[in-house]
Chains A and B, each alone.
Chain A
Amino acid sequence: MKNIQKAFSILAITILFAACSTDNSENISGIGNLEIEFDNAYASNDLILGIQENATSNGEILKINSAKYIISNIVLTNQNGAVFTYPKSDSYFIVDESGQAILELENVPAGNYTKVKFGIGIDNDQYALGAENQGDFFVIAQSAGMISGFTDGYTNLSLTGTFTSPTVASETPFMVKTTKTATDSNYREVTLDLPTKALVRTDITPEIHIIADVSKILDGSHKTRLSEHISGSEATINSGEILDLITANLTEMFIVAHVHND
Chain B
Amino acid sequence: MKKLILIFFFACQFVHAADKDSTYLYHFRHMEFPEGLGKCDACGCSATGGSMGFSSMFNNNFVGLRYFYQSYTSKDGIFDNSPKVDENFNTIQVWARVPVSKKIQVSALLPYHFHTRERSTGDENISGIGDMTVIAMYSLYQTKKDSTVFTHKIQAGGGVKFPTGKYEEANNLGSVNPGFQVGTGSFDYLFLAEYMIKRKNLGLNAMANYTIKTENEKEYQFGNQFNYGTTLFYLFDLKHIKLVPQAGLAGEVYEENTQRHQAVSDTAGDILFSRFGIEAGRKNFSIGLNAMLPISQNLSGGNVEANYRWSVNLNYSL
Chain A residues packing against B (C-beta within 8 Å): 3-4, 6-7, 10-11, 13-14, 17-18, 21-22, 24, 37, 39, 41, 44-46, 48, 52, 101-102, 195-197, 199, 204, 207, 209, 211, 257-258, 260-262
Chain B's interface size range is 35 or more
The distance from the CB of A207 to the nearest CB of chain B, in whole angstroms, is 8
Give the 10 A-B residue pairs with the shortest CB-CB distance, closest first: A46-B79, A196-B262, A45-B81, A3-B101, A44-B80, A7-B100, A3-B100, A14-B160, A18-B187, A261-B260
Q: Which residues of B contact A21 (CB under 8 A)?
A: 214
A-B pairs with beta carbons under 8 Å apart, 18 shown: A3-B100, A3-B104, A4-B100, A4-B104, A6-B7, A6-B100, A7-B106, A13-B14, A18-B160, A39-B78, A44-B80, A45-B81, A195-B265, A196-B263, A209-B35, A211-B78, A257-B78, A258-B36
Is A260's CB under 8 angstroms from B101's CB? no
> In whole angstroms, what is the CA distance A195 to B263 when docked?
10
In B135-177, the 8 Å CB interface with A consists of: 136, 160, 162, 169, 172-174
Chain B residues packing against A (C-beta within 8 Å): 3-4, 7, 11, 14, 29, 31-33, 35-36, 77-82, 100-101, 104, 106, 134, 136, 160, 162, 169, 172-174, 187, 189, 214, 217, 219, 259-260, 262-265
**Which of B29, B32, B173, B174 is the one whose CB lies under 8 Å from A46?**
B32
Q: Which residues of A contact B14 (CB under 8 A)?
A: 13-14, 17
Q: Which residues of A contact B160 (CB under 8 A)?
A: 14, 18
Known: A14-B134, A39-B33, A258-B36. A46 touches B82 (CB 8 A): yes
Is A17's CB under 8 angstroms from B136's CB? no
Q: Which residues of B contact A197 (CB under 8 A)?
A: 262
Q: Which residues of B contact A195 (CB under 8 A)?
A: 265
Q: Which residues of A contact B77 (CB under 8 A)?
A: 46
Q: Which residues of A contact B219 (CB under 8 A)?
A: 24
Residue of A nearest to B174 (CB): A260
Q: Which residues of A contact B162 (CB under 8 A)?
A: 14, 17
Is A102's CB under 8 angstroms from B100's CB? no
> In whole angstroms, what is the CA distance A39 to B160 when docked?
42
The distance from the CB of A118 to the nearest CB of chain B, in whole angstroms, is 19
> In whole angstroms, what is the CA distance A258 to B265 when docked?
8
Is B31's CB under 8 angstroms from A101's CB? yes
> In whole angstroms, what is the CA distance A262 to B172 when docked?
9
Is B36's CB under 8 angstroms from A260's CB? yes
**Which of A10, A13, A22, A207 is the one whose CB lies under 8 Å from B217?**
A22
The distance from the CB of B266 to the nearest CB of chain A, in whole angstroms, is 8
The distance from the CB of A101 to the nearest CB of chain B, in whole angstroms, is 7
The distance from the CB of B117 to the nearest CB of chain A, in whole angstroms, is 19
Q: Which residues of A contact B174 (CB under 8 A)?
A: 207, 209, 260
Among A21, A102, A196, A209, which residue has the most Cβ atoms of chain B within 10 A?
Answer: A196
Q: Which residues of A contact B104 (CB under 8 A)?
A: 3-4, 7
> In whole angstroms, what is the CA distance A11 to B158 when docked?
10
> In whole angstroms, what is the CA distance A50 to B258 when docked?
38
Q: Which residues of A contact B262 (CB under 8 A)?
A: 196-197, 199, 261
Residue of A nearest to B29 (CB): A102
Is B11's CB under 8 angstroms from A13's CB? yes
**Which of A24, A46, A199 is the one whose CB lies under 8 Å from B81?**
A46
Q: Which residues of A contact B169 (CB under 8 A)?
A: 262
Q: Which residues of A contact B32 (CB under 8 A)?
A: 46
Known: A22-B217, A46-B32, A258-B265. A10 touches B11 (CB 8 A): yes
Q: Which residues of A contact B172 (CB under 8 A)?
A: 262
Q: Which residues of B contact A204 (CB under 8 A)?
A: 260
The distance from the CB of A33 to the nearest CB of chain B, in whole angstroms, is 14
Q: Which residues of B contact A44 (CB under 8 A)?
A: 79-80
